[in-house]
Amino acid sequence: MTETQFWTFFFIILTFGIYIVIAWRSRVKETKEFYVASQGVPTLANGAAIAADWMSAASFIGMAGLIAFLGSDGSVYLMGWTGGYVLLALLLAPYLRKWGKFTVPEFVGERYSESVRIVAAVAAIVVSFTYVVGQMAGGGIVFSRFLGLSIEWGVVLVAVVIFFYAVLGGMKGITYTQVAQYTVLIIAYLIPAFAVAYQTTGIPVPQISYGQILTELDSLSVEFGLNEFTEAFSGRAGGQIDVFLVTLSLMLGTAGLPHVIVRFYTTKTVRGARYSGFWALFFIALLYLTAPAVGAFTKLNLLQGVQGQGPDSLPDWINTWAPTGLVTVNEDVETIGTVSNIATSGADLIVNNDILVLASPEIGGLPAPIVGLMAAGGMAAAMSTAAGLLLVISSAASHDLYFRVFKKTGASEKEQMMVGRIAMGLAILFAIWAGINPPAFVAQVVAFAFGLAAASFFPILILGIFWKKANGPGAAAGMLTGLAFTATYMIYTLEVFGTGANDHILNVSPEGIGAIGAAVNLTVMIVVSKLTAPPSEHVQEMVEEIRYPQTRKAPVRS
């Protein structure tokens, strides 16, 4: 066993042990505990849990890697995800918490109709399942590199641990496990970032010091056949328009993600939901303000390490990552002259975006304990989000479909818990299969989930709160149209379900199509609502009332 493997085993076993102990102590027997942690989570803890739920493998593993190769265009992920979170915290979360339900489809059902609730439940499963694929793939990458397992067995091991603490504790167990996971992931992300910054520039604050290396990084990037790191609108084939659409899609998708919204249901009060949003934004910012620096330093160290080297004299980290299949070297060249991410063939050195953050301590020459800590952080990020997503899938399948469609008579707490846990188990099995065969990079897969959420949930939630005349037929038509439009375009432009990839229409990428899908949903919903009967007076009164403080009851206006 190598020193790196020893420290990786140490941190993985330590952190997994903490998660399992928390899960065992948080095990639940009632549906309210299982779905919303009895709405008793303290504000600070909920903020940390939201941040962990939010900062998935895409944020921890994939985002800085995409920034490294996309350059300034990688900022779409920073702007889209953080901007969307602000939309969610200000425009949706407090009102949904005041409505006081267990799930997003449950709000949709009461606000619109039971038939729309079914559509929303199916959409929640589709969005969450797409998202969870990226988390499982990210976990598999960590185990493959650092513990010598195949990616397939890595995905299985991740799923087993998540199943244990998610099934035992439901939302309660997941919440307090996520607090621990946030602590692990943020420490694991910041320590290597500060160490590499100090090693490279002498200033241990990456957000400040990485500006010193940009000129050299631009020059090296061009030398290796890449775009300048700081050049705007060069990292995406669609240019400025696609950058705008991807950013907007990520923003709207963020505000419509069921697994993030449901976290605001767990607070004690509406005020607690607002303050949870503040703390979550603070915790998220610690990582998101560091990611551009991590991408820049890692890319600089990568290019400097292979500059002028041949296939037989490359840095050790390339040899250690090569067995995973995520780094490929052209053995037929004397000197590495071109470098690319895995999406571009023909280069002398091809590096998968998803390994750059995990490999950054090795690329920067940091000691083995920091490498092992980074692996534990990557696992924490993947598992924290995956658990929340699986709970959404479970609640949608059991609470919103099974007990509303297939078994409408009363069910005991024991029966509801059993069905919820079975649904989660089935979801994990599907997630294992998809995580072993992901359609794209971790961050890209997650971006697809955001696009689907933007095209399905955001319009019906925002209109459901702020336009009392929005009705059931309009919501159902809008969701189905937006979701079908967006999913069809993604399948058309990607190699999924056995289909070949086709060219982008008008240079719109599959990551950006969700913004157009949201516009389609919004338009269809407004038109159909105008052409059909308005909601009942009772529903319109509830819509008016949730927009005011508890002490004031708003009158119904015509």
pLDDT of residue 551: 44
Reported confidence tier of residue 522, pLDDT bands at 50, 70, 90: very high
Q: What's the mean pLDDT in 328-349? A: 82
Tell me what the pLDDT averaged over the chain comes to.
84
Q: What's the mean pLDDT in 230-250? A: 84
Q: What's the mean pLDDT in 263-282? A: 85
Alpha-helical segments (H) within 112-213: 114-146, 151-201, 206-209
Round to whole Å and give the CA distance between 529 and 190. Answer: 49
Q: Does residue 342 belong to any structural domain of this protein?
A: no
Residue 112 DSSP SS3 = coil
Reported confidence tier of residue 440, pLDDT bands at 50, 70, 90: low
Round to whole Å and give the CA distance between 236 and 70. Answer: 7
Q: What's the mean pLDDT in 354-374? A: 88
pLDDT of residue 477: 96
pLDDT of residue 371: 87
Sign for the pseudo-dihedral over CA of 513, 519, 523, 526: positive
Q: Does residue 490 belong to any structural domain of this protein?
A: no
| pLDDT at 552 > cutoff 60 | no
| pLDDT at 209 > cutoff 80 | yes
Q: What's the mean pLDDT in 259-278? A: 84
| pLDDT at 260 > cutoff 70 | yes
Round to whole Å and give the CA distance between 67 and 501. Answer: 24
Query: What CATH number is attached to the domain comprising 188?
Result: 1.20.1730.10
Q: Does residue 78 belong to any structural domain of this protein?
A: yes
Beta bridge partners of 339: 349
Q: What's the mean pLDDT in 384-413? A: 79
Domain carrying residue 210: 3-298+366-440
Q: Does residue 283 belong to any structural domain of this protein?
A: yes
In total, how many domains does the chain have?
Answer: 1
Round to whole Å and give the CA distance between 400 and 388. Answer: 17
Q: Does residue 445 belong to any structural domain of this protein?
A: no
Q: Does residue 308 belong to any structural domain of this protein?
A: no
68-108 tens-digit pLDDT? 888 888 888 888 988 888 888 888 888 888 887 778 898 89
